[in-house]
């Protein structure tokens, strides 16, 4: 059983989760300490065996849990917040159980992905979940560049200390004016939803942001007016002629036009 855990408030759990935690033979938790704190808040006594199940031990522990399932035991997988398997441990065990012909079910629960999408104010009829952007700047730029023409609303997770750089990279890849929302501490006491263009949000995040972060970005609008490459190059050269450094001129023009800095730099370099 894959069990959705609250993303903020313990009161968001369902009566089924309370019953399940008290009845399961094995509870595999991303963080056993957080699980026990949740159980205490819910006034639930976990009578089954509690084991850790996190990124670093997922591959090996999944095999162990599979054996418990084959023996007919009820195994519950629960993460720190949200649904197992969604940027959290759960996929490997689910895949192994399915291959072994073992029934896999889920106890639905809160999800930061759909919660952020709902409160973002952005189109929600079609969306895609992109997880955490790559940590390395080069990989991140390539990944985001590949999404520049994605028409669906995009949902990302990000760590607070990397948020400013990721938003800046998104502004370069998607355009500084692309509508977005940064959702912080969803369902918690200090919940905050900050909406605006990616460039504006990147400047805001540069001051420091704390908490659990989910970013929602509007998709590309087909038929939108695309900037003329010749005009962009000409603008860069005009600023260089006025005394600006070429690298800085490229960065400024790319940000204003909502194009990728690397692509504009390559265009300028080819015409030197």
- 49: β partners: 26
Question: What string of pLDDT tens digits covers the 272 residues of the chain?
Answer: 999 999 988 888 889 999 999 999 999 999 999 999 999 999 999 999 999 999 899 989 999 999 999 999 999 999 999 999 888 899 999 999 999 999 999 998 889 999 999 999 999 999 999 999 999 999 999 999 999 889 999 999 999 999 999 999 999 889 888 999 999 999 999 999 999 999 999 999 999 999 999 999 999 987 665 677 888 888 999 999 999 999 899 988 887 776 777 778 888 887 76
DSSP state of 82: B
Residue 206 sits in the same domain as residue 258: no
Q: Are residues 156 and 243 in the same domain?
A: no
Question: Is residue 248 classed as helix, strand or coil in its secondary structure?
Answer: helix
Residue pair 153/218 in contact by the 8 Å Cβ criterion: yes
Count other C-beta atoms under 10 Å from residue 173's C-beta: 25
Q: Specify the CATH number for the domain of residue 14.
A: 3.40.1010.10
- Predicted local confidence at residue 261, as pLDDT: 79
- Decide if 223 is inside a domain: no
97 and 6 in a single domain? The answer is yes
CA triple 65-66-69, angle to 5 deg: 90
On whether both 194 and 259 belong to a single domain, the answer is no
Write down the residue that tokens 């599979």 correspond to. Answer: 66
Residue numbers of the domain that contains 246: 229-270
**Tens of pLDDT, residues 86-100:** 888 999 999 999 999
Domain boundary among 52, 76, 107: 107
Q: pLDDT tens for residues 169-179?
A: 999 889 888 99
CB atoms within 10 A of CB 212: 21
Could you give the CA distance from residue 206 to residue 165 in angstroms, rounded to a whole number? 8
Q: Is residue 9 domain-shared with residue 82, that is, in the same domain?
A: yes
């Amino acid at each position: 059983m894959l069990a959705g855990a609250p993303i903020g408030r313990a009161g968001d759990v369902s009566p089924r989760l309370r019953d399940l935690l008290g009845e399961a033979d094995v509870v595999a938790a991303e963080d056993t300490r957080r699980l026990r704190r949740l159980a205490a808040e819910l006034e639930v006594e976990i009578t089954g065996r509690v084991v850790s199940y996190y990124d670093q031990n997922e591959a090996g522990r999944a095999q162990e849990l599979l054996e418990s399932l084959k023996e007919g035991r009820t195994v519950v997988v629960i993460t720190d917040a949200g649904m197992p398997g969604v940027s959290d441990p759960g996929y490997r065990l689910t895949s192994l159980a399915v291959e072994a012909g073992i029934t896999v079910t889920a106890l639905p629960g809160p999800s930061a992905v759909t919660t952020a999408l709902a409160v973002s104010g952005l189109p929600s009829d079609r969306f895609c979940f992109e997880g955490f952007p790559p940590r390395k700047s080069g990989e991140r730029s390539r990944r985001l560049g590949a999404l520049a023409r994605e028409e669906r609303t995009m949902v990302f997770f990000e760590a607070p200390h990397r948020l400013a750089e990721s938003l800046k990279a998104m502004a370069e890849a998607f355009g500084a004016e692309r509508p977005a929302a940064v959702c912080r501490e969803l369902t918690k006491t200090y919940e905050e939803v900050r909406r605006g263009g990616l460039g504006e949000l990147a400047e805001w995040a540069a001051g420091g942001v704390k908490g659990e972060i989910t970013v929602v970005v509007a998709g590309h609008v087909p038929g939108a007016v695309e900037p003329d490459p010749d005009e962009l190059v000409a603008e860069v050269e005009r600023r260089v002629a006025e005394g600006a450094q070429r690298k800085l001129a490229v960065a400024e023009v790319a940000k204003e036009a909502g194009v990728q800095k690397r692509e504009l730099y390559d265009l300028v370099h080819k015409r030197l």
